[in-house]
DNA sequence: CCATTCTATGCTCTCAAGGTATCGGTACTG
DNA sequence: CAGTACCGATACCTTGAGAGCATAGAATGG
């Protein structure tokens, strides 16, 4: 029994006529008759009641017709779907990102992608930069929006936007009134930043910026999430240098200030070069075509 | 593409080794390799990434594996089911009945049948005797519990029980005190009975009984349902001769009386002799084996 | 660099499956 | 009632899809 037999069976069940059913199967009646009886023999079940004048389905045949149609439909669907999956029109795409650098980029990219590939299920995974790198290596992510990596020989990378640091302080802080900030302004201040094993790019940028001004960075609190950092600054527990993209979301009790000669860091779309997931290509196509939408305003 | 190809594909997807997968399919490796590439060619999709050292599924292949397993499982299930249906272990059985003669018989038979054939869906159709006969002829019912038909050459019939007539009158009626009823007692009374085109057997029995006593039957009301008849008698609008089996369900305002020399009528299980529904046989087997359970107490 | 392992390919052969002709049975028709 | 048309089953022949064998070619490990 294989699916071609099912086609034969359905043809006969629908026409109730050996000759016409055989024609529909592009074959002559005698071998078609043999096919039908071989089906019945292999199932051990009589599917048709027949004599030389008319053909009718048995009760078992009626049930089998129902099942057969369902199976054939599913078969067709599977063959169509596998082609869609291969073309990246359907499937799953696991996209990692860091919201604190991508709060504008991710929603836009997701919207554009969903419009173009509605049958691809986007699985969004918000993680820390270090986690994202690891997951990209392991294949646990198909792509990610993160800081442009330094060593990218195993990654395909396309730059989406750049971000820079901005100072946030409590509204009561002495720096709240200063127009723009220089490294020397940070001398003696209590800094809040994510630890190096969570967001090395940011951490290095902050440390580097202080060092450039000859000021040693003094970190008093090291939460993992950027939103926590904002809250702690709000409470007056320290000051912080955070990505500009995040500053629009701070509350009224926090003041943000531009800093002079801020280091810039790239935010990029990355995917393993070895990725076999065909849905990824479109993501890069969109990133390239609509790059203007992601750029810093 | 047919289902044997799916088996090959699944074997390889599960072993990820051409030689072992071929062995599982009871064939040698070279033709197996050709089968796999013919699948890929006919789908136009690469399902495996392979070199001489290892074999892996592509993303499309993973999806297709999932679908293929589902299809093969459904295929197996369909082949098993069609055999169950042919053996009457599974399917549907449309059973017609008249509750007013079968209020004890139907629940018992249904219970016994459901215990023995849990996968057969019993579809119960409560109809008038004439409807039932018509539906049996048309094939709209697979079997029915009804009055034993007079002409049964096209029906298989097995007697389940017999019933007889009993008089019901309102508690205030002059016959309410009489011990047992003779035809002559009915002289001049207003009778209530279902019309002949609804329940000819009952109607004829009533008319015949009156005629035997030399009393013309005078029908004043002719509802279709036996329960309606009981209600009308309860309201004092007439008297009625109804099947004994129904009398236990009358309320306190109605009195039932045995009648002398009541005609008896058989209640039987009937099915078209030409019935092709294999579930019917078991129904008759039960009716025969458990006949004692259906007999009038 | 050789041995080993695994997939791909070339060649041969066989049998499953298709085609043609025809039989046997049934219903309609004049 | 004979004749005809139609339909499914059977007999026989034919062919090509698919199986096996031998082996090439590629990759890995010692």
**Could you read off the pLDDT of B28-58 as tens digits, one per residue?**
999 999 999 999 999 999 999 998 788 999 9
Residues whose CB is less than 8 angstroms from the CB of residue B218 and which lie 6 or more positions away in sequence, other chains included: B188, B189, B190, B191
B12 and B51 co-located in one domain: yes
pLDDT band for B130, please (50, 70, 90 cuts): confident
Average pLDDT over residues A278-286: 95
Contact in structure between B296 and B161 (CB atoms under 8 Å):
yes
B192 and B53 co-located in one domain: no
In Å, the largest CA–CA distance within chain A is: 104
Contact in structure between B159 and B113 (CB atoms under 8 Å):
no
Contact in structure between A286 and A188 (CB atoms under 8 Å):
no
Say whether pLDDT at B297 is over 70.
no
Q: Identify the pLDDT of residue A297.
A: 63
Q: What confidence tens digit (pLDDT) does each residue in B196-225 have?
A: 988 888 999 999 999 988 889 999 999 988
Q: How many CB atoms lie within 10 A of CB A184?
A: 11
3-state secondary structure of A29: helix
Which residue among B57, B86, B115 closes a domain?
A: B86
Say whether pLDDT at A238 is over 70.
yes
Say whether pLDDT at A236 is over 70.
yes
Q: Which residue has the higher pLDDT, A159 or A297?
A: A159
Q: Identify the pLDDT of residue A151.
A: 67
Average pLDDT over residues A96-117: 88
Nucleotides of C under 7 A from a protein CB: 5-10, 17-22, 24-27
Say whether pLDDT at B101 is over 90.
no
Say whether pLDDT at B82 is over 90.
yes
Residue to test with chain B: of A276, A279, A282, most B Cβ within 10 A: A276
Average pLDDT over residues A35-45: 93
User: Which nucleotide does the CA of A30 lie closest to, via C1'?
Assistant: D9
Q: Identify the pLDDT of residue B99.
A: 75
B134 and B96 co-located in one domain: yes
Nearest to A83 among B44, B71, B75 (CB): B44
Residues within 8 A of A (CB atoms), B 74-93 only: 74-75, 77-79, 81-83, 85-86, 90-91
Q: What confidence tens digit (pLDDT) does each residue in B103-124 have?
A: 788 999 999 999 999 999 999 9
User: Which CATH number is B39's domain given?
Assistant: 1.10.10.10
Range of the domain at B252: 164-264
Q: What percent of chain B has pLDDT over 70?
A: 98
Q: Identify the pLDDT of residue A104.
A: 81
Q: Identify the pLDDT of residue A150.
A: 64
Q: Identify the pLDDT of residue A295.
A: 81
HEC string for B76-142:
HHHHHHHHHHHCCCCEEEEEEECHHHHCCHHHHHHHHHHHHCCCEEEEEEECCHHHHHHHHHHCCCC
Contacts of B72 in chain A (CB under 8 A): none
Which residue among B53, B86, B119 closes a domain?
A: B86
B153 and B180 co-located in one domain: no
Query: Cα separation of B246 and B230, whole Å?
Result: 9
Say whether pLDDT at B98 is over 90.
no
Q: What percent of chain B has pLDDT over 90?
A: 66
B169 and B244 co-located in one domain: yes
Contact in structure between A239 and A167 (CB atoms under 8 Å):
yes
Which residue among A86, A121, A144 closes a domain?
A: A86
Q: Which residue has the higher pLDDT, A175 or A152?
A: A175
Nearest protein residue to nucleotide D19 (CA to C1' distance) is: B31
B17 and B31 co-located in one domain: yes
Say whether pLDDT at A140 is over 70.
yes
Looking at the complex, does the CB of residue B47 fall below 8 Å from at least one CB of chain A? yes
B129 and B272 co-located in one domain: yes
3-state secondary structure of A3: helix
Average pLDDT over residues B226-253: 89
**CA of A72 and C1' of C16: distance in angstroms?**
23
Say whether pLDDT at B173 is over 80.
yes
C-alpha distances in Å from residue A12, one per residue of A64, A152, B64, B78: 12, 61, 29, 18
Average pLDDT, chain B: 91
Say whether pLDDT at B69 is over 70.
yes
A109 and A24 co-located in one domain: no
B106 and B179 co-located in one domain: no
Bridge partner list, A28:
none
State the Cα torsion B70-B72-B78-B83 to the nearest 10°.
-140
B130 and B14 co-located in one domain: no
User: Which CATH number is A120's domain given?
Assistant: 3.40.190.10
Query: Cα separation of B184 and B261, whole Å?
Result: 12
- Interior/surface letters B117-152, b for 16+ CB within 10 angstroms, e for the rest: beebebeeeebbbbbbbebbeeeebbbbbbbbbeee
- Interior/surface letters B163-192, b for 16+ CB within 10 angstroms, e for the rest: bbbbbbbbeebebbeeeebebebbeebebb
C-alpha distances in Å from residue A67, one per residue of A7, A59, B107: 12, 13, 32
Average pLDDT over residues B2-10: 93
Say whether pLDDT at A112 is over 90.
yes
Q: Identify the pLDDT of residue B265.
A: 87
Query: Cα separation of A24 and A47, whole Å?
Result: 19
Q: Identify the pLDDT of residue B154.
A: 83
Q: Identify the pLDDT of residue B96.
A: 95
B169 and B236 co-located in one domain: yes
Point out the least confidently predicted range of A23-27, A65-69, A76-80, B148-152. B148-152
pLDDT band for B150, please (50, 70, 90 cuts): low
pLDDT band for A235, please (50, 70, 90 cuts): very high
Looking at the complex, does the CB of residue A64 fall below 8 Å from at least one CB of chain B? yes
pLDDT band for A278, please (50, 70, 90 cuts): very high
**For residue A107, with 0-12 CB atoms within 10 Å meaning exposed, 13-18 middle and 19 or more buried, which class applies?**
exposed
Q: How many domains in chain A?
A: 3
Write out the two tokens for A59. 């009760």
Q: Identify the pLDDT of residue A152.
A: 66
B129 and B13 co-located in one domain: no
| CA of A58 vs chain B CAs: smallest distance (Å) | 7
């Amino acid at each position: 029994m294989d699916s071609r037999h099912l086609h034969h069976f359905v043809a006969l069940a629908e026409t109730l006529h050996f000759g016409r059913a055989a024609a529909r199967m592009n074959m002559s009646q005698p071998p078609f008759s043999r096919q039908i009886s071989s089906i019945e023999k292999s199932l051990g079940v009589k599917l048709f009641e027949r004599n030389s004048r008319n053909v009718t389905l048995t009760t078992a045949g009626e049930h089998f017709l129902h099942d057969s149609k369902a199976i054939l439909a599913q078969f067709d669907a599977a063959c169509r779907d596998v082609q869609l999956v291969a073309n990246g029109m359907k499937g799953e795409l696991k996209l990692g990102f860091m919201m604190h650098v991508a709060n504008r980029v991710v929603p836009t990219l997701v919207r554009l992608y969903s419009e173009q590939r509605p049958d691809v299920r986007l699985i969004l995974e918000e993680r820390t930069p270090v986690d994202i790198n690891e997951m990209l290596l392991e294949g646990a992510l198909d792509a990610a929006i993160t800081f442009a990596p330094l060593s990218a020989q195993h990654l395909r990378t396309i730059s989406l936007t750049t971000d820079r640091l901005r100072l946030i302080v409590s509204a009561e802080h002495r720096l709240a009134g200063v127009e723009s900030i220089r490294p020397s302004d940070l001398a003696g201040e209590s800094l809040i930043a994510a630890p190096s094993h969570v967001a090395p790019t940011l951490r290095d940028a902050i440390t580097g910026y202080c060092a450039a001004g000859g000021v040693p960075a003094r970190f008093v609190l090291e939460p993992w999430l950027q939103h926590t950092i904002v809250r702690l600054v709000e409470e007056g527990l320290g000051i912080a240098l955070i990505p500009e993209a995040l500053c629009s979301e701070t509350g009224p009790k926090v003041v943000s200030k531009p800093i002079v000669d801020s280091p810039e860091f790239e935010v990029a779309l990355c995917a393993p070069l070895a990725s076999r997931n065909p849905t990824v290509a479109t993501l890069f196509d969109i990133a390239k075509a609509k790059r203007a939408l992601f750029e810093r305003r």
